[in-house]
Amino acid sequence: MIEIVRLDGAEQRTLDEINKLLSALSENISSCTPDLLQRIVGNPTVEIWVAKHEGHIVGIGELALVLKLEGISAYIEDVVVAIPERGKGIGTLIMKKLIERARVHGAQEIHLTSRPDRVAANKLYKTLGFEVRATNAYCLKL
């Protein structure tokens, strides 16, 4: 049975399982460090939710809250399910949990980005009510 739980620790095994999932999300993604994971877990505006099966993390999603002058916005990041577990509804369970938590925190909107080649993920987001926005996405590497 799949269980969706909030990540509340930063043990090495947890970090290893997270980094394995992140590498499945993108070849260009950096590994999470123990220090960064500890900082994220201790941050009240960020929540990491994981899908566990038989004690192992098989999926992950991150919710980041941003308090702005016009209200609270939520951002969903790093949603990924282990390749052998895809197609079983785990991504849907994670997304529904993240949406629920955004509502609990009073977010007025949820933003996310997804590469066009992630066909199944994009289909899921549209099924959940997300709409594609026409905007320019910028990034400044520091």
Residues 23, 15 contacting (CB under 8 angstroms): no
Query: How much is the pLDDT for 28?
Result: 79
Q: Is residue 134 part of a domain?
A: no
51 domain-assigned: yes
Asked if residue 100 is part of any domain, the answer here is yes
Question: How sure is the predictor about 141, in pLDDT bands with cuts at 50, 70 and 90?
Answer: confident
Q: Is the pTM of this model over 0.75?
A: yes
Instruction: Say which CATH number the domain at 106 has.
Output: 3.40.630.30
Q: Please, what is the end-to-end C-alpha distance for the chain in angstroms?
A: 41
How many domains would you assign to the chain?
1
User: Residue 87's domain spans which residues?
Assistant: 2-127
Assigned domain for 92 exists? yes
pLDDT per residue over 84-118, tens digit each? 999 999 999 999 999 999 999 999 999 999 988 89
Pairing label, strands 71-81, 109-111: parallel
Q: How confident is the model at residue 46 (pLDDT cuts 50, 70, 90)?
A: very high
